[in-house]
């Protein structure tokens, strides 16, 4: 019998290559699940690799005062974000002082209470969802 679908062909090839895997045949659904896990693994590896990238040099030249400084957490994050001009700690502190202080607005008043409310509601919603699923099944 000749497989008509590409998924069946791939499943047959994987069954032949991997063996019977303890009596569990690999059908087209299994191939789809295997492909999804593989894609998720590749995306996770790419994301983790991007978060651990380091600048190629151990030091940089400040774009304002031209002093050579070693990288800090702040400059590494700026480099990862694609910034081409990096500033030493002293120049950065001077720049921060020259910036106007942010006035407290409506956004600064919300946050903590909202997080507490959501944290209190999540377990209750999880329990309700569990009982609904158990009742259906």
Q: What is the pTM of this model?
A: 0.41
**Tokens of residue 125, six digits:** 């919603």
**Tokens of residue 86, six digits:** 């990096």
For residues 124 and 11, give the distance between their C-alpha atoms in angstroms, rounded to a whole number.
43
* pLDDT value at residue 49: 66
Residue identified by tokens 């609904």 is: 132
Whether 27 contacts 5, CB under 8 Å: no
pLDDT digits 0-9 by tens, 13-61: 666 655 555 555 556 676 677 778 878 888 777 777 666 778 889 999 9
């Amino acid at each position: 019998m000749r497989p008509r679908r590409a998924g069946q062909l791939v499943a047959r090839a994987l069954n032949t290559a991997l063996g019977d895997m303890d009596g569990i045949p690999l059908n087209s659904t299994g191939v789809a699940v295997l492909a999804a896990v593989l894609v998720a693994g590749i995306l996770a590896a790419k994301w983790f690799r991007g978060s651990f990238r380091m600048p190629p040099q151990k030091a940089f030249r400040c774009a304002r005062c031209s002093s050579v400084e070693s990288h800090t957490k702040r400059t590494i994050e700026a480099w990862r974000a694609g910034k081409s001009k990096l500033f030493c700690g002293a120049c950065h502190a001077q720049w921060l002082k020259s910036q106007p202080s942010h006035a407290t607005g409506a956004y600064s008043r919300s946050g903590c209470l909202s997080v507490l409310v959501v944290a209190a509601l999540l377990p209750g919603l999880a329990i309700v969802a569990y009982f609904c699923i158990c009742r259906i099944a």
